[in-house]
Amino acid sequence: MIIATLALVAMGCSKSDDDDNGGNGGGNGNGNGGEGGNDNTTLVITPGTDERPAWEYPDYDNWEQTMSVRILMQNELEPYMTQNDLLCATMNDEVRGLTPPTIEEEYNSRFFPLTIGADGAEARIFLHYYCDSLHRIFTIDWADFNANAIPMGDDSYFYRPTFVK
């Protein structure tokens, strides 16, 4: 089993039809990985009505490869993070990774340590962020699975995807 340490951060598109924050509507999970919040406008993030998802932790022994990543939350969503949040990675609508955040207030550190399982480069990875305090699920079409490559963001060892714009 090949394990590559990767660094990620969570930003993307909401799945809500009534999202004014750059979501694509319809809940189909086809977000873009753009750099939201950089146009000097005030980003308004509204609470939703999504229930906590019933995602189940995957059995990593079921796959030939895993890749491990660290994801930082989008700056605009970070104030809403709690220990009850979840970050889920799916491939072909199957949960391949699931983790709560690691929040270390004494070090001002908040990130999601995520391991994703696969049998080679099967499909696109979608990231789903459940924000408990907002009762919202945000989704982004993130990357192709590659246990040998590290998808880097601006923070070298972390990836910071854009969930809202």
The DSSP result for 56-124, as a single string, is ----GGGSSEEEEEEEPBPTTTGGG--TT-EEEEEETTEEEEEEPPEEEGGGTEEEEEEEEEESSS-SE
| Confidence (pTM) | 0.71
Residue with tokens 């906590």: 52
Least confident residue range of 26-30, 60-64, 75-79, 84-88: 26-30
Which tokens go with 40?
């000097």
Instruction: Give the separation between CA 111 and CA 31, rounded to whole angstroms.
Output: 21
* C-alpha to C-alpha distances, 136 to 81, 115, 116, 164, nearest whole angstrom: 12, 22, 22, 11
Q: Within a domain: residue 151? A: no
**Residue 157 is assigned to a structural domain of this protein:** no
In a domain, 54, yes or no: yes
pLDDT, position 154: 52
Does residue 27 sit within a domain?
Answer: yes
In a domain? residue 78: yes
Tell me whether residue 162 is in a domain. Answer: no
Is 42 contained in some domain? yes
Structural domain of 137:
3-144
Q: Is residue 154 part of a domain?
A: no
Read off the pLDDT of residues 106-162 as tens digits, 9 standing for 90 and up.
877 889 999 999 887 667 899 999 999 999 999 999 887 876 665 555 555 688 888
The number of distinct structural domains making up the chain is 1
The burial class, CB within 10 Å (0-12 / 13-18 / 19+), for 148 is exposed
